[in-house]
Amino acid sequence: MKLYNTNNGTVIESNGNFYAVKARWEKLINDDNAFRSATALIKDATAGNSTLVEELLPVIGNNQELWACGVTYLRSKIGRQEESKDAGGGDFYSRVYEAERPECFFKSTPHRVVGNKGFVRIRKDSTWDVPEPELTLVVTSSGKIIGYTVGNDMSSRSIEGENPLYLPQAKTYDGCASVGPCILLTEKPIESDTKITLTISRNKQIAFKDSIAINQMRRTPEELSSFIYRECSFPYGCMIMTGTGIVPGNEFTLKSGDEISIAIDKIGELINVVA
């Protein structure tokens, strides 16, 4: 079952049908029993078609925060070591990857997050920029993971590579993230062989493409969420990016006009263009 946040309200997709329902978006995505609530809602709704989800809004709630986790895949650890070796930070990322405590950081407030077909940005003071495709958790105020969405954690590798303490500047700025196109509601954890695929097109030609399964993550989604919720409360719930396992090579950097496509099995495809 999928949830869509649209200009016309909340839409639920189930078994190929689409239902416009009377449900406040922020309340439904912070409901510990969201799957059951959504199932009940469509019983009294009239089935429609995909035209109901043509105009999408970001799936993050207006009062939520977006958090992120780093160095959760081996490929990410290697990439961080490569970008920071001149600054002497390579060992820093190796220790984070092996440590009991994961790297967790605040990513964005909703007004810096865009949705499907929105424009993401690269910083003007950065010379090396990449998207980071990530499985993103939808977590309620009680800490329960009720669903999943697709996330793009835009990142300045030149700034973070210069000094690990510059992470907030490399990660948080206007247009620094996108989430969508929908939320996959589930009653059980997402399958471990779920695949994430990143495709970057430039001038209508594929400039980069790669994929990875989420079972390559060293940590579980539940573990990552538990650390973020340890001493932080989220009255309206929270969204958590779980790290990337796809890192374009050192020779690649995003340019204005590039189209970024991130597809995750069973969830959907998040498409953005670099402003």
Tens-binned pLDDT, residue by residue, of the chain (275 aa): 999 999 989 999 999 999 999 999 999 999 999 999 999 999 989 999 999 999 999 999 999 999 999 999 976 667 656 665 565 555 777 788 889 999 999 999 999 999 999 999 999 999 999 999 999 999 999 999 999 999 999 999 999 989 889 999 999 999 999 999 999 999 999 999 999 999 999 999 999 999 999 999 999 999 999 999 999 999 999 999 999 999 898 899 999 999 999 999 999 999 999 99
Token code pair at residue 188: 């059980």
Whole-number Å distance between alpha carbons of 31 and 37? 8
pLDDT of 39-70, one tens digit each? 999 998 999 999 999 999 999 999 999 999 99
If one counts every other C-beta atom within 10 angstroms of the C-beta of residue 166, the result is: 15
Cα of 100 vs its chain's centroid, Å? 23
Rounded to two decimals, the pTM is 0.95
Gap between the terminal Cα atoms of the chain: 32
Fold (CATH) for 65-274: Fumarylacetoacetate hydrolase; domain 2 (3.90.850)
The rounded distance, in Å, linking the Cα atoms of 258 and 272 is 8
CATH 3.90.850.10 residue spans of the chain:
65-274
